[in-house]
Amino acid sequence: MKSYTIKYSDDKRNEETIDSAGTIEGITPGTEINFEISIIGSLIKLFIDGINICTGNMVIKENPVEIKIGGQNEVNIFNIEIEKKKLSAFIIT
C-alpha cells in the first residue's frame, strides 16, 4: 500500500490513481509530517516536508478537491491553511 497518493474520483465514486509514492512502512508513528498540496490549473503537486513527492495532471472543474488522511494509529491534523491565488494572464507578441 502506498503512503502518498493523488487520486481522481468521478461522480460515481470510481477512483483512478494519478500518482503515488512511498510505503506505509516508511512512516514512523508519532512523527510530524508537513504536507502541502499545490493546484495550479490542471497540475497537482503533493509536497511532504518540502519535497515534491507526487505530481499529476487532471481537469478539475465540477468535482471538489478532497483530502483524505488515515492510518492504523490516531491521526492529528492542525494548522490547515488554504490560500487561493488568482491567475494572471499574459500576452506574448
pLDDT, tens only, 4-35: 888 887 777 788 888 888 887 777 778 888 88
Residue 23's domain comprises 4-57
- Domain-embedded: residue 10: yes
CB 50 within 8 A of CB 34: yes
Number of domains in the chain: 1
Q: Is residue 35 part of a domain?
A: yes
Q: Is residue 93 part of a domain?
A: no
Sign of CA dihedral 63, 17, 69, 55: negative
Give the 3-state secondary structure of residue 44.
Answer: strand
Any bridge partners for residue 36, and if so which?
Answer: 47
42 part of a folded domain:
yes
Query: In this structure, is residue 88 part of a structural domain?
Result: no
SS3 assignment, position 52: strand
The pLDDT tens digits for 46-76 are 998 899 999 988 876 655 677 777 777 787 8
Q: Give the chain's length.
A: 93
For residue 83, tell me if it sits in a domain. no
